[in-house]
Copies of this chain bind each other. A is one copy, B any other.
Amino acid sequence: MPRVEKEEIIRALRSKGLRVTPQRFAVYANLLARRDHPTAEQILKQLNQEVPTLSQATVYLTLQTLSEVGLIREVLLEQGVCRYDANMAPHHHFVCTSCGQIIDIPWDCLGPINLSSLPSGFQVERYEVTLYGKCNQCGDREERSQT
């Protein structure tokens, strides 16, 4: 769990012109501490154990706000739910087709993509790769059952 300094979180929020409220702090800190790309509901559920009164609307609104100012990003990989990620470093995603788990893949694990034969007229600002397959655990499980 990458512990992030309180001060750093406060600085980040202030730097975007956002007021530091206990709710906003809690949501952002929670997301920074997780690597599982939670949904708004999952964040709410987990936080309600620590900060008993955190309203649903606030979580949704806060995530939207943080996303707008660029402190977090949306991860859209399944129909119907929006997941969030506080890892703003460019990176790719691996989606396990068995368990649905989403794993961050550091940018340098995939070589740079050659865009030179892209039809002209496209100005690419950024890109990301989504890999689909079996994760460590699901791959192992499959092998064992085939034996």
When each residue 113-147 of chain A gets 1 if its CB lies under 8 Å from chain B and 0 otherwise, what string results?
Answer: 11101110111111111111111100100000000
Number of copies: 2
Q: Could you tell me the distance between the alpha carbons of A136 and B123 in the complex, rounded to whole angstroms?
A: 8
Q: Could you tell me the distance between the alpha carbons of A109 and B76 in the complex, rounded to whole angstroms?
A: 24
Contact between B110 and A114, CB atoms less than 8 A apart: yes
User: Which residues in B have their C-beta under 8 angstroms from that of A123?
Assistant: 133-134, 139
Q: Is A53 an interface residue (CB 8 A)?
A: no
Q: Is A94 an interface residue (CB 8 A)?
A: yes
Contact between B121 and A117, CB atoms less than 8 A apart: no
Q: Contact check: which of B79, B118, B136 meets A122 at CB < 8 Å?
A: B136
Contact between A110 and B110, CB atoms less than 8 A apart: no
Contact between A125 and B134, CB atoms less than 8 A apart: yes
Contact between B124 and A131, CB atoms less than 8 A apart: yes
Q: Is A7 an interface residue (CB 8 A)?
A: no
Q: Is A47 an interface residue (CB 8 A)?
A: no
Residue numbers of A with Cβ under 8 A of B are: 74, 76-80, 82, 94, 97, 103, 105, 108-111, 113-115, 117-119, 121-136, 139
